Amino acid sequence: MPRRLLNFLTALSLLVCLAVCMLWVRSRSRTDEFAWHSQSGNDPASATKWYLMSHEKGWIEFYRAWPRDLKVTAGHAIVAGAAAVLPAARLAALAVGTVLTRRRVKGGLCPACGYDLRATPGRCPECGWEAVGVG
């Protein structure tokens, strides 16, 4: 998967997670309803109606009224948790990568491939990595 698409999906997931958390907090005191309509052609009867409701009782309901009824209901925590999986996984991968790179550099290994650099400090004969400012 191209990195730009992955970054976009991560940002979108994070945004959805934050929005659901905000709705979750608001759901303690009120029910929010978002509705929109999409119509193809000139026939208003063929308009598709969409609703997203954040209920006061702690759950979210997604509803599409046309052409077929579709209703999905889930708790705020489940939706927020599902949206947080990708950003959390990316953050964990970044942390693990940083720790591994630091360990390699401390141990005199190439930060890119882990090759032993004691014989050629500043340049890796295995992968071609070069330290900045050495040479």
Residue 126 contacts Zn ion per CB under 5 A: yes
Which residue spans within 6-45 are E strands per DSSP?
A: 32-38
Using the rule CB under 5 A, give the single segment among 58-66, 69-77, 89-97, 115-123 that binds Zn ion.
Answer: 115-123
Residue 109 contacts Zn ion per CB under 5 A: no
Residue 129 contacts Zn ion per CB under 5 A: yes
Token readout for 20 is 């659901």
Residue 110 contacts Zn ion per CB under 5 A: yes
CA 32 → CA 14, 21, 65, distances in Å? 21, 13, 18
Using the rule CB under 5 A, give the single segment among 28-36, 42-50, 75-83, 111-119 that binds Zn ion.
Answer: 111-119
d(CA 60, CA 3): 31
Residue 83 contacts Zn ion per CB under 5 A: no
Residue 48 or 120 with smaller CB distance to Zn ion: 120
Which residues fall within 8 angstroms of residue 131, CB to CB, at 6 or more apart?
A: 121, 122, 123
Site of interaction with Zn ion (CB under 5 A) = 110, 112-113, 115, 124, 126-127, 129
